[in-house]
């Protein structure tokens, strides 16, 4: 067994996780390049466990979003899930957990900088989750994800995925199609006034106005303003 | 509540399922067209529950495949999962469960033939699973899927997804790249002999021979023969 004792210690102190079957954890952190370099060890690489971990994350995040945001329509849930369950996010979580330090890589891959590659770190995050699920069951994974992932959702790290224009459209179209227009009503004129001004209009009503350094930003502000007004009614 | 009593009876007698919260089941079978036609009923359509059910199916099928086929490499598991968790399969399962009869549709959608549309039936299969998961938990969904889905996997309904040529390639390339060639060695000559004959060759060894009504079929047979020989060694 090649697992770093520091890793086991960190899992225990930081996440209260103690694996029963350490060979699952080792498999989850072993890349095929390492397996190929050490045929005598008869190791498995992480890919099968990652296949499972991917689906575990998808369900845990889906269930969390479904219950946390009972008023979000499906489209918004799907966009938010896609922003959380993706290579960028998972590789960041893997780094935050220091998983990058403990991957078993072949020398060639090490020299190619694989240890810092997002696609590998994303895989390792999923395979860790798969191993944890097999070893400890769903509840322990939920606890881990509650510690590592959900606080970031609640702090708004993924809110870029839910842009205000789409939200406004979904709000207005709850009971059928509605034409929504963004109208540019003010452009930068002097070096002192660098702002664009946009109005959002639906069914001949101005729902909101917004300003920004470009048209897109002004549209987002207008949509956000409109949504806030509508939701207060 | 608009649920057909026949439906509840069928769920109970055929699947031993009795919902506690029937509003979840109704939501799972209500399409947006019906919601829009009956604003006074203040219904929810199935989309949020389907969002959840999709992830539930993905995990249950993944866990089943992972445990059922401990020797399959990840690529094969992924192909098999994709063949099971897809519109074609889910719509077929929905029909087999008679779910098509119980969907609440708006009149326009009904007239457009939506009730027989695979995309809708696939959605409904997922939303049923989502509702069952919320109402009864994971174990009941597993029991339902064991009855409706897994026997078909074991009967080979999805084995087309795991073609023998790919399997042979995966077997041979477990420890690095190997060149595999399919060589046509016999073509139809007379009306009595309509067979193509193909040899599969790797590292200068003929691993197997196959015959078929076309080149592709002969290659599959050759790969299957080769695999059987290799696995016996």
What is the residue-wise DSSP string for A151-202? Answer: HHHHTTTTGGGS-HHHHHHHHHTTTS---EEEEEEE---STT---EEEEEEE
What string of pLDDT tens digits covers the 233 residues of chain B?
Answer: 678 999 999 999 999 999 999 999 999 999 999 999 998 988 999 999 999 999 999 999 999 999 999 988 898 899 899 989 999 999 999 999 999 999 999 999 999 999 999 999 999 999 999 999 999 999 999 999 999 999 999 988 887 676 788 888 888 887 677 889 999 998 887 766 778 899 999 988 999 999 887 787 788 889 988 988 887 77
Q: Do B48 and A66 touch (CB under 8 A)?
A: yes
Which chain A positions have a beta carbon within 8 Å of B175's beta carbon? 36, 39
Catalytic option among A45, A54, A135, A199: A54
Contact B74 A50 (CB under 8 A): yes
Nearest residue in chain B measured CA to CA from A138 = B138
Q: What is the spatial distance between Cα B3 and Cα A111, in angstroms, rounded to a whole number?
A: 62
Whether the Cβ atoms of residue A58 and residue A135 lie closer than 8 Å to each other: no
pLDDT score at B61:
98
Give the pLDDT confidence of A25-44 residue by residue, as tens digits.
999 999 999 999 998 998 99
Instruction: Provide the Cα torsion A129, A130, A131, A133; round to 10°.
Output: 80
Tokens found for residue A167: 């939200």
Distance of CA A77 to the CA centre of its chain: 12
Interchain contact, A52 vs B39, CB within 8 Å: no
Q: Which ipTM was obtained for this model?
A: 0.75
Q: How far is CA A78 from the centre of its chain?
A: 12
Nearest to A56 by CA among A147, A144, A152, A138: A138
Among candidates B36, B54, B62 on the partner chain, residue whose Cβ is nearest the Cβ of A52: B62
Question: What is d(CA B194, CA B212) in angstroms, rounded to the nearest whole number?
Answer: 8
CA angle in degrees (0–180, nearest 5) for A162-A168-A172: 140
**Residue A197: pLDDT band with limits 50, 70, 90:** very high
- Mutate which of A62, A108, A127 to disrupt the B interface (most B C-beta within 10 Å)? A62
A-facing residues of B in 165-194 (CB < 8 A) are: 175-176
Q: Please report the pLDDT score of residue A1 as a whole number.
A: 63
Q: Which residues of A touch B47 (CB under 8 A)?
A: 73-74
Residue B138: list chain A partners with CB under 8 A. 138
Specify the 3-state DSSP secondary structure of B159.
Answer: helix
Q: How far is A71 from chain B (nearest CA, A)?
A: 10
Q: Is B224 annotated as a binding residue?
A: no
Q: Quick one: chain B helix, strand, coil %, rounded to 5?
A: 65, 10, 25
Average pLDDT over residues A178-199: 85
A48 contact B CB<8A: yes
Give yes or no for B77 touching A (CB within 8 A): yes
B26 labelled catalytic: no
- All domains of chain B, ordered by start, with CATH? 5-161 (1.10.1520.10), 164-232 (3.30.160.20)
* A53-64 average pLDDT score: 98
A85–chain B nearest CA distance, Å: 12
Distance between CA atoms of residues A138 and B139, nearest Å: 13
B37 touches chain A (CB under 8 A): no
Catalytic-residue membership of B126 = yes
Ramachandran angles phi, psi of A232, nearest 5°: -80, -25
């Amino acid at each position: 067994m090649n697992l770093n004792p520091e890793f086991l210690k960190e899992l225990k102190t930081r996440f209260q996780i103690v694996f029963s079957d350490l060979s699952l954890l080792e498999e989850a952190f072993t890349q095929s390049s390492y397996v190929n370099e050490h045929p005598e060890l008869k190791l498995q690489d992480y890919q099968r466990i990652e296949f499972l971990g991917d689906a575990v994350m998808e369900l845990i995040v889906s269930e969390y979003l479904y219950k946390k945001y009972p008023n979000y329509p499906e489209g918004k849930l799907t966009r938010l899930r896609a922003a959380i369950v993706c290579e960028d996010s998972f590789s960041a979580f893997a780094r935050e957990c220091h998983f990058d330090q403990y991957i078993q890589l072949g020398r060639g891959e090490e020299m190619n900088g694989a240890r810092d590659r997002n696609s590998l770190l994303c895989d390792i995050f999923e395979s860790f989750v798969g191993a944890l699920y097999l070893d400890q069951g769903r509840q322990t994974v939920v606890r881990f994800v509650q510690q590592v992932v959900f606080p970031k959702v609640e702090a708004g790290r993924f809110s870029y995925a839910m842009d205000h224009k789409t939200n406004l459209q979904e709000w207005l179209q709850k009971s059928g199609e509605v034409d929504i227009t963004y109208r540019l009503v003010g452009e930068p004129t002097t070096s002192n006034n660098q702002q664009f001004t946009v109005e959002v209009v639906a069914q001949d009503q101005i729902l909101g106005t917004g300003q920004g350094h470009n048209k897109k930003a002004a549209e987002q502000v207008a949509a956000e303003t409109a949504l806030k007004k509508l939701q207060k009614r």
